[in-house]
Amino acid sequence: MDITFNIGGEAGQGIDTIGDLLTQVFVQSGFYTFTIKDFMSRIRGGYNFSQIRVSDSPIHAPIDDIDLIVALSHDAIVGKRNQLVDGGVIIFDDTIKTEELDACHYPAPLQKTATEVGGNIRMMNAAALGAVLAVTRFPFNLAETALSEIFLRKGRKVVDANVEVAKALYNLTKENWIGTCAHDMSTVKMGPCKDRLILTGNRAIALGAMAANLKWISSYPMSPSTACFQDIVSNAQRLKIGSLQTEDEIASLATAIGASFAGARSMVTTSGGGFSLMVEGLGLAAMTETPIVIYNAQRPGPSTGLPTRTEQGDLLFMLTASQGEFPRIMLAPKDPIEAFDVATRAFNLADKFQVPVMILGDQYFSDSVKNVPRIDAGKVEIDRGKRASTMASEPYERFKLTEDGVSPIAFPGDQGKFVVASGNVHLENGHITEDPDIRNSMVEKFMRKIPQILKTLNPPQVFGGRGAETTLLTWGSTWGAAYEAVKVLADKGVSINLLHFCDLFPLKTHILTEVFSEAKGVVAVEQNATSQFAKLVLMETGLTVDKRVNKYDGRPMTPRFIMDRLKEGGIS
Amino acid sequence: MDITFNIGGEAGQGIDTIGDLLTQVFVQSGFYTFTIKDFMSRIRGGYNFSQIRVSDSPIHAPIDDIDLIVALSHDAIVGKRNQLVDGGVIIFDDTIKTEELDACHYPAPLQKTATEVGGNIRMMNAAALGAVLAVTRFPFNLAETALSEIFLRKGRKVVDANVEVAKALYNLTKENWIGTCAHDMSTVKMGPCKDRLILTGNRAIALGAMAANLKWISSYPMSPSTACFQDIVSNAQRLKIGSLQTEDEIASLATAIGASFAGARSMVTTSGGGFSLMVEGLGLAAMTETPIVIYNAQRPGPSTGLPTRTEQGDLLFMLTASQGEFPRIMLAPKDPIEAFDVATRAFNLADKFQVPVMILGDQYFSDSVKNVPRIDAGKVEIDRGKRASTMASEPYERFKLTEDGVSPIAFPGDQGKFVVASGNVHLENGHITEDPDIRNSMVEKFMRKIPQILKTLNPPQVFGGRGAETTLLTWGSTWGAAYEAVKVLADKGVSINLLHFCDLFPLKTHILTEVFSEAKGVVAVEQNATSQFAKLVLMETGLTVDKRVNKYDGRPMTPRFIMDRLKEGGIS
Amino acid sequence: MITKEQLEGPQKITWCTGCGNFGILASLKNAVGELGVPQNQFVIVSGIGCGSKIPHYINLNAIHTLHGRAIAVAQGIHLANLDLQVLVHVGDGDTLGEGLGHLMHAARRNVNLSVFIHNNGVMGLTKGQFSPSAPRGYVSSTSPPEAGAPMNPVNVVAYALTAGATFVARGFSGDQKGLVALMRKAMKHKGFALVDILQPCQTWNRQLNWKFYNEHTYSLQENGHDINSRIAAIEKAFSNGDKIPTGVFYEEKAPTLAESLALPPDGRLRDHQTDIKAVQAIIDELIL
Amino acid sequence: MITKEQLEGPQKITWCTGCGNFGILASLKNAVGELGVPQNQFVIVSGIGCGSKIPHYINLNAIHTLHGRAIAVAQGIHLANLDLQVLVHVGDGDTLGEGLGHLMHAARRNVNLSVFIHNNGVMGLTKGQFSPSAPRGYVSSTSPPEAGAPMNPVNVVAYALTAGATFVARGFSGDQKGLVALMRKAMKHKGFALVDILQPCQTWNRQLNWKFYNEHTYSLQENGHDINSRIAAIEKAFSNGDKIPTGVFYEEKAPTLAESLALPPDGRLRDHQTDIKAVQAIIDELIL
Ligand SMILES: Cc1ncc(C[n+]2csc(CCOP(=O)(O)OP(=O)(O)O)c2C)c(N)n1
Ligand SMILES: Cc1ncc(C[n+]2csc(CCOP(=O)(O)OP(=O)(O)O)c2C)c(N)n1
Ligand code: SF4
Ligand code: SF4
Ligand SMILES: [Mg+2]
Ligand SMILES: [Mg+2]
């Protein structure tokens, strides 16, 4: 079973809620889901959709084929019709004026039923759900349990009303609708999925940060990162996290640097344009060796670009941002499960090496919803790195030259110490100098950190077994589509595997060079126009990829997109 | 003849003026000079120096050996003593308390003579000059003519007083000083140098910009770029150039983008920290295809780093700065002569391709003084690129899709046209869109510019003949030291040449790959710690250098430094 | 006179039904239409936000810039060509947060711009977070959960007055007639003119809505106010407790920035050719 | 009481002889010494400029940050540990140009900081360009050659008052006794305290020199001034024609930003451990 629902309509019509409801019903019923959100940079109107893929085995990406469309506007009827499979069905509110549609499609009285049965037009959500379930002949009792649980928090009355509306439309549909849907779920019982935690990338980062003892966040809203910030703010009171929406991104990073300098684990969230404004501050964090975590949820640029769309276009920018040279760490989680882990690791790495750690997400990663196993927050280990001894007799030196390049840290207020730092070149004690020898020592101190960092980072993962003829090379969120493409092709007998990087920089080259030498052809698959990761690999190893698959229209990568490009290149 | 003078003392003591005077006297007398300035980030006190190398053949870099030190403070006596050649002389003001120095050194009554003979302690400059000339037995009549010309602008009286002071100390020295200087210039007549224009890199950029019809500059002071901005401001009234010191660098670039959008050739000057703040604006310029020239005079980073020192540390940062992907042009002049040309080309390239053009200088390039031939401003060609026809019948589209990726430009106020631009993804007419196909077209439009740009850029230059065993690879200001090192080694019979880039990006690879394949070993010589240009070459061509020479103490590269490193690597 | 048809917007409007931006757009069309400046001499410069989409809904030269930087860009456009009538349309998040420095400094320089602030007390386009002009305690998704917006709002009229703006007014999107008059005055003013426009955000801000403004605004001009005293104007700006004053707070003739710069006599840097002989002279003066 | 010896600066001073910064440093040592706060609880945060080198000349915790960003960094330090006494030392170019937005917003939030502006009317460290507080017409290497600085100066006292600062004063480096008193008041004040310090730059600014200030300043307190009225304070701030007022302009008790944030009861985020069970509960609430 592998079925995709597309819920489309105008911004403000509640399509997100319908999508979430559907996702929840299917997860509750034991199925794997993968939901993407596609919306315009406007608050009302336009054409948005939420697309839910449901399967009885694990899934990791959206696919192009749509089985069922729920349309709340005329645009939504036509918007994705070219992706509807043969025998696919469009359910649309019967108040929408439209050209004659085949009888297989279904003008459903969504608004009407919501108002008449539920007494509230907003229950159109439940109505839509009822229609979808009826069309797919999904057993209503399964959904009923799910709905009860979902709405339970809102009280019995809300549950009953929603179930009633859904049921009304369910029954109505069974009676009235004359089409048939290719998918018959009537025999479905409970799926095998036990992963009942459904998470977006944004939320996973937020949870990871909170579990890692984040104590300060200062940010400025910017799509698609805002939800991560909001998640943390909404739990700030409960967990005692200092949070501030600053006047701009410059202040957000500067404030976070201050908080970290004073001893609080700190983070900022932003997107590329906001990160652009943080570039000078990044250098200050680096020069003062103040740990900091920066989460950049990328979107298509340059400039304002496409604010609510997806791209992996900031990799090289973040790699070299800010004047001068300094070590930094870059991580790009592939999905929400990994994101939680990455967020916790980010804080440990920042503290351990006293360098900026940057997490690269993107709108697709940030907003798409995946079901994952329960996360055990108790397992998160916290490593705050080298702390200066509390009873040293010598005057404290914040930038003591050490073998591994990392100096024991102290915070202002610590007994018997004065902590001094500067963005200027400085002595071991933090006071400024222009001495060329000390300058050299401090540069070399920075460089010594890199091999230490490399030892700590995770190697890339190989999926599909070693020694394939064709290797796909991916990083971050593109993993899912590539992973599924590899699976499909491997099943067809193609010799193909996937080399995937979460820990991007400094680049671990060991497995990379092996896999490159094993493969006849390496294909870089990236959500950008210039194959930035392939460039990074080339720059760090001299190894060139043989082919590039690029998507830069702002819409997420799909397995089909990759397979089509591979086919053009003779791989299929 | 190749002699180096080092004039050292405290900030505010006028060592710069002594250095300039010496430079001018030698240039007037027909010698080649090369002057570097070394100063601390403070206004008074400390230890600064001006170092003038004088030769009867062209010279392009400072060297480590110093023949004569003029010391106005105790620090200046000891500061460079380890670089003094055998038989070198230190002239120091006799009021400075110091340990016994060998009799070969000279405690000169500089202050005293200035006050007693000139009536003004500030004439210590002329006194120092007199002492230097006497010590080197330079014919005073040659200097006299030079001094007269130099001070002529200040009036006869000033000339006379200065000549008198210089002469007094000249004679006093001849009488009193018992040492001898290894350099005897008594037989010197006039040198062969006819290049009487003495220029810094900063000034050359300013002149080039002014000759290229720069009409708008908005900047914010930042060492070592400030002098370039100041030079333009000081001529603003005469040339009618709009100029504004803005509140910050963000505003400086944003204002310049506005001025350029409205039709005025525009520029900003800054250093790395200021450029960090311009990163978001850079993306706006790119997305709106507004021509802009950005001059970054680099200094050692990260962060505030060493404000008055030199480094080539921002190359990769500028290469990928700002979110998203877009074409840009990067140029790094090797010296003031080339800088004038680069500045004029920068504006033409910006207009022709409607992309940001970045000029990379550095403190060494910006502040060092070189003598160059007279520049003929009349030869500067101005190419403002494709202008939209004035009598088109169709509605004007600022971002019309064209074969070469460049759309005819119009400015607000042009008859019959509305010029619309946006930092968001936009239609050909400049209004915003989220359409994936248009997004793709616009990305591809950007990419189409790159091959066009490549055709227009200059290839790298090879010095020392093709086909050598060892090739030094340099960019920007490191050229001079490498050029001289190559000359010395080649004279010794070493098979060595120099491959040098001024036009850095997009990278022209033709000659590069040839030279790499000819050489047994390529050595990247860079004023940074991570060999950024070597990384760029690798990233663009897959070619790896064999050895790296790096200097990152903030002091300029010298031929000796390079030769020492080469020797360590077995090349000498 | 430019007709409504000539100004007809190139794109379909994407604002929410009932949004205060509609009233601003309508007023703008009116003011532009009747100003007597040729249509192709207007340039709209906007930031990023709901209100900053306005250039796509009216047919004029325009540049839709960055969040917070519109005033700086506009300053450059103006100085490159003094013939242009440069109008800045920006949000409150935009200009009072990210771009506050540019606003204050452009006001201080008395740059000849008309700045129209679409002031809705929220960040509309990013979904309703509190903006710098949101009231203290305003609850949104990014304010501390218990306290709401933990500070007093930016009083943009007072800020602009303190910085030295030479025309400062406040309009209300619901009073189009008044707003047109203020816009026209701002456009005619030589110097930095700012109109703070009360603009209900129908979707996010439930507090500063149509009803609230209808009940809590009053006209300065109808209630006697001396527009020639900066300090009186500041005092009025701060007197916005229960009742918010609208109308002109302050007006003054003062030298504009352009008068101090080395612009060509016709004020058109864009078409000016530097005298290359003068450049040669500058070079030759450097020759020893 | 912290002794002069304990505060002895770690580095040799690099300021020019006669610089107004010496008086500020001496006053600071005095004020810090007598405040009654343990020495290791002080943190100096500075920007970039001559005055911003002060942390190297006094023995306290310190971070020498970026041009314009000191207040934002200081805000973070303060909120991470409310025990700290956070002092911001910044230049006029620094804070009134590059960093003006941060100043205004921190004032508005009433962040508990003491901000000391080394106000010399020039950019000292970059060699004397006009700063935002240079007088109109002030000639320097980057002002239009004919006009000089082409705008009125930033009146930082008026700006801070308008933004909502709860303690605003002006001192003079030449009046150390007065300055120590103001600094001490600023440090004791709970909320955003700003002291504008008139600081002659001996090297570059020939106009705003010792003589000028000695002759053109007067004490507010000695001449009767109501420090409880914001509007009166603003009026005084603007009354700086021939005579420049010094002393306290305004003082007010008001909630600080920290009171609105979700800080732990002891105000020490730095040592707080998030209750991991609460995090688990948040996760578990998401499970269907
Ligand atoms: C540098 C930067 N930071 C953040 C954003 C995201 N952003 C877009 S619009 C907006 C807020 C808009 O608020 P406002 O200026 O009040 O305009 P409104 O939408 O309310 O009209 C923000 C924060 C951005 N585009 N650029
Ligand atoms: C982002 C940035 N821009 C510019 C500079 C260069 N810079 C260093 S100090 C300074 C001016 C300092 O003026 P002010 O703040 O008044 O301090 P003062 O030296 O007068 O004490 C400038 C522009 C910088 N360090 N960083
Ligand atoms: S969100 Fe608010 S400001 Fe934005 S368009 Fe809708 S009503 Fe208007
Ligand atoms: S330049 Fe001015 S401010 Fe800087 S140290 Fe010298 S006198 Fe003081
Ligand atoms: Mg708003
Ligand atoms: Mg200053």
Residue of A103 and A499 predicted with greater confidence: A499
| pLDDT, position B147 | 83
Instruction: Based on the fold, state whether residues A277 and A211 are members of the same structural domain.
Output: yes
Instruction: Based on the fold, state whether residues B492 and B522 are members of the same structural domain.
Output: yes
CATH number at residue D114: 3.40.50.970
Query: Is B45 an 8 Å CB contact of chain D?
Result: yes
Q: Are B232 and B241 in contact (CB under 8 A)?
A: yes
| pLDDT, position C157 | 98
Q: Are B265 and C81 in contact (CB under 8 A)?
A: no
Helix (H) or strand (E) holding B204: helix B201-211
Atom of ligand 4 nearest to the CA of D20: 8
Tell me how long chain D is: 288
**What's chain D's average pLDDT?**
97
| pLDDT, position B83 | 97
Exposed / middle / buried, residue D223 (Cβ in 10 Å: 0-12, 13-18, 19+): exposed
Instruction: Based on the fold, state whether residues A362 and A395 are members of the same structural domain.
Output: no
Token pair 């995937």 is found at A500
Tell me how long chain C is: 288
Q: Are B49 and B76 in contact (CB under 8 A)?
A: yes
Ligand 4 binding pocket mutation candidate from D13, D14, D16 (most atoms within 8 A of CB): D16
Beta bridge partners, B371, equal B198
Judging contacts by C-beta atoms under 8 Å, the chain C residues touching residue A40 are 14
B289 vs B283: CA distance, rounded Å: 9
Judging contacts by C-beta atoms under 8 Å, the chain C residues touching residue D163 are 159
Reading the block at residue D111, the tokens are 């962040």
Split at pLDDT 50, 70, 90, the class of D115 is very high
Query: Is A226 an 8 Å CB contact of chain C?
Result: yes
Ligand 4 binding pocket mutation candidate from D203, D210, D213 (most atoms within 8 A of CB): D203
Query: Is A417 an 8 Å CB contact of chain D?
Result: yes
Q: Is the CB of B120 inside a 6 Å radius of any atom of ligand 2? A: no
Reading the block at residue D27, the tokens are 């006053």
CATH number at residue B337: 3.40.50.970
CATH number at residue A502: 3.40.50.920
Listed residue (A192, A213, A501, A495) closest to A343, CA to CA:
A213
* d(CA A35, nearest CA chain D) in Å: 16
Query: Is A148 an 8 Å CB contact of chain D?
Result: no
Whether B433 is in a domain gets the answer yes
Instruction: Based on the fold, state whether residues A39 and A163 are members of the same structural domain.
Output: yes
Whether A273 is in a domain gets the answer yes
- pLDDT > 90? residue A151: no
Query: Is B276 an 8 Å CB contact of chain D?
Result: no
From D66, D100, D124, residue closest to B43, measured CB to CB: D124
**Residue at which a domain ends, from A141, A160, A191:** A191
Query: Is D142 an 8 Å CB contact of chain C?
Result: no
Number of domains chain D is built from: 1
Which of A225, A245, A252, A271 has the most C C-beta neighbours within 10 Å, making it the best mutation to test the interface with C?
A245
Beta bridge partners, B369, equal B35, B200
Q: Are B237 and D148 in contact (CB under 8 A)?
A: no
Instruction: Based on the fold, state whether residues B306 and B238 are members of the same structural domain.
Output: yes
Q: Residue B268, SS3?
A: strand
Residues with CB under 6 Å of ligand 4 are: B 43-44; D 15-16, 19, 21, 50, 120, 124, 201-204
> What is the distance in A from the centroid of ligand 6 to the CA of D47?
11
Tell me how long chain A is: 572
| pLDDT, position B391 | 78
Judging contacts by C-beta atoms under 8 Å, the chain A residues touching residue D48 are 423
pLDDT digits (tens, 9 = 90+) for C101-113: 999 999 999 999 9
Q: Are A464 and A488 in contact (CB under 8 A)?
A: no
pLDDT in tens, chain B (572 residues): 999 999 999 999 999 999 999 999 999 999 999 999 999 999 999 999 999 999 999 999 999 999 999 999 999 999 999 999 999 999 999 999 988 788 889 999 999 999 999 999 989 999 999 999 999 999 998 888 888 888 888 888 888 999 999 999 999 999 989 888 888 898 888 889 998 999 999 999 999 999 999 999 999 999 999 999 999 999 999 999 999 999 999 999 999 999 999 999 999 999 999 999 999 999 999 999 999 999 999 999 999 999 999 999 999 999 999 999 999 999 999 999 999 999 999 999 999 999 999 999 999 999 999 999 999 999 999 999 999 998 777 899 999 999 999 999 999 999 999 999 999 999 999 999 999 999 999 999 999 999 999 999 999 999 999 999 999 999 999 999 999 999 999 999 999 999 999 999 999 999 999 999 999 999 999 999 999 999 999 999 999 999 999 999 999 999 999 999 999 999 98
Instruction: Based on the fold, state whether residues A371 and A224 are members of the same structural domain.
Output: yes
Residues 39-58 in D contacting A (C-alpha not used; CB under 8 Å)? 40-41, 43, 45, 48, 53, 55-56
Q: Are A13 and A72 in contact (CB under 8 A)?
A: yes
Listed residue (D82, D74, D131) closest to D107, CA to CA:
D74
pLDDT digits (tens, 9 = 90+) for D256-276: 999 999 999 999 999 999 999
Whether A83 is in a domain gets the answer yes
| pLDDT, position A518 | 98
Query: Is C158 an 8 Å CB contact of chain D?
Result: yes
Domain enclosing residue B392, as ranges: 386-445
Taking an 8 Å cut-off on Cβ atoms, the answer to whether C231 and D230 are in contact is no
- pLDDT > 80? residue A392: no
Q: Residue A165, SS3?
A: helix
Instruction: Based on the fold, state whether residues A179 and A45 are members of the same structural domain.
Output: yes
Residues 97-136 in D contacting A (C-alpha not used; CB under 8 Å)? 101-102, 105
Instruction: Based on the fold, state whether residues B159 and B75 are members of the same structural domain.
Output: yes
Taking an 8 Å cut-off on Cβ atoms, the answer to whether A213 and D273 are in contact is yes
Q: Which stretches within B80-155 are classed as H helix?
A: 110-113, 124-135, 140-152
CA gyration radius, chain A: 26
Domain enclosing residue C199, as ranges: 21-262
Beta bridge partners, B533, equal none
Render the burial of B511-524: b for 16+ CB within 10 Å, e for the rest: ebeebbebbebbbb
Ligand 1 binding pocket mutation candidate from C15, C48, C133 (most atoms within 8 A of CB): C48
Whether A454 is in a domain gets the answer no
Q: Is the CB of C209 inside a 6 Å radius of any atom of ligand 3? A: no
Neighbours of chain D (3+ CB pairs under 8 A): A, B, C
Taking an 8 Å cut-off on Cβ atoms, the answer to whether B324 and A41 are in contact is no
**Residue at which a domain ends, from A150, A173, A191:** A191
Taking an 8 Å cut-off on Cβ atoms, the answer to whether C261 and D150 are in contact is yes
Whether B456 is in a domain gets the answer no
Whether A455 is in a domain gets the answer no
Taking an 8 Å cut-off on Cβ atoms, the answer to whether C283 and B218 are in contact is no
Whether C269 is in a domain gets the answer no
Which of C11, C14, C204 has the most A C-beta neighbours within 10 Å, making it the best mutation to test the interface with A?
C14
Q: Which stretches within D60-171 are classed as H helix?
A: 70-80, 92, 100-109, 156-163
Taking an 8 Å cut-off on Cβ atoms, the answer to whether B43 and D143 are in contact is no
Whether C178 is in a domain gets the answer yes
Residues with CB under 6 Å of ligand 1 are: A 220-222, 249, 273-274, 277, 304; C 48-51, 67, 91-94, 118, 120, 122-126, 131
Taking an 8 Å cut-off on Cβ atoms, the answer to whether A311 and B324 are in contact is yes
> What is the distance in A from the centroid of ligand 1 to the CA of B72?
57
| DSSP-derived secondary structure for B469-536 | SEEEEEEGGGHHHHHHHHHHHHHTT--EEEEEESEEESPP-HHHHHHHHH-SEEEEEESSSS-HHHHH
Instruction: Based on the fold, state whether residues B364 and B403 are members of the same structural domain.
Output: no
Taking an 8 Å cut-off on Cβ atoms, the answer to whether D65 and A284 are in contact is yes
C56 vs C64: CA distance, rounded Å: 9
> What is the distance in A from the centroid of ligand 5 to the CA of C95?
9
Which residues are within 8 A (CB) of C123 and not within 5 positions of it... i.e. 6 or more apart?
A221, C49, C91, C93, C129, C130, C131
Instruction: Based on the fold, state whether residues A31 and A177 are members of the same structural domain.
Output: yes
Please tell me the pTM assigned to this model: 0.98
Mean pLDDT lowest among A127-131, B150-154, B492-496, D200-204: B150-154
- pLDDT > 90? residue D250: yes
Instruction: Based on the fold, state whether residues B159 and B248 are members of the same structural domain.
Output: no
CATH number at residue A27: 3.40.920.10
- pLDDT > 80? residue A261: yes
Taking an 8 Å cut-off on Cβ atoms, the answer to whether D66 and B304 are in contact is yes
Q: Are C83 and C268 in contact (CB under 8 A)?
A: yes
Whether B60 is in a domain gets the answer yes
Average pLDDT over residues C54-70: 98
Whether C7 is in a domain gets the answer no
| pLDDT, position A103 | 80
Judging contacts by C-beta atoms under 8 Å, the chain D residues touching residue A266 are 76, 80
Q: Whose Cα sits closest to atom 5 in ligand 4?
A: D15
Whether A25 is in a domain gets the answer yes
From B272, B434, B555, residue closest to A40, measured CB to CB: B434
- pLDDT > 80? residue A89: yes
Reading the block at residue A63, the tokens are 């696919």
* Closest CA in chain D for residue C157: D162
Number of domains chain B is built from: 4
Split at pLDDT 50, 70, 90, the class of A142 is confident
Whether D268 is in a domain gets the answer no
Split at pLDDT 50, 70, 90, the class of A178 is confident
Q: Are B11 and B23 in contact (CB under 8 A)?
A: no
Contacts of C175-183 with CB under 8 Å at 24 or more apart are: C175/C217, C175/C246, C176/C23, C176/C26, C176/C27, C176/C30, C178/C219, C178/C246, C178/C247, C179/C23, C179/C24, C179/C27, C180/C27, C180/C30, C180/C31, C182/C247, C182/C248, C183/C27, C183/C28, C183/C30, C183/C31, C183/C114, C183/C116
Whether C8 is in a domain gets the answer no
B302 vs A320: CA distance, rounded Å: 11
From D132, D150, D162, residue closest to C158, measured CB to CB: D162
Ligand nearest A270 Cα, by number?
1
Whether C194 is in a domain gets the answer yes
Atom of ligand 2 nearest to the CA of D120: 20
Taking an 8 Å cut-off on Cβ atoms, the answer to whether C283 and B377 are in contact is yes
- ipTM of this predicted complex? 0.98
Q: What single-letter DSSP state applies at residue C133?
A: T
Percent of chain C with pLDDT over 90: 97
Q: What single-letter DSSP state applies at residue C98?
A: I
Ligand 2 binding pocket mutation candidate from D100, D120, D125 (most atoms within 8 A of CB): D125
Average pLDDT over residues A369-394: 93
CA gyration radius, chain D: 20
| pLDDT, position D40 | 97
Taking an 8 Å cut-off on Cβ atoms, the answer to whether D282 and A210 are in contact is yes
Reading the block at residue C214, the tokens are 């209808």
* d(CA A118, nearest CA chain C) in Å: 24
Instruction: Based on the fold, state whether residues B357 and B391 are members of the same structural domain.
Output: no
Judging contacts by C-beta atoms under 8 Å, the chain D residues touching residue C168 are none
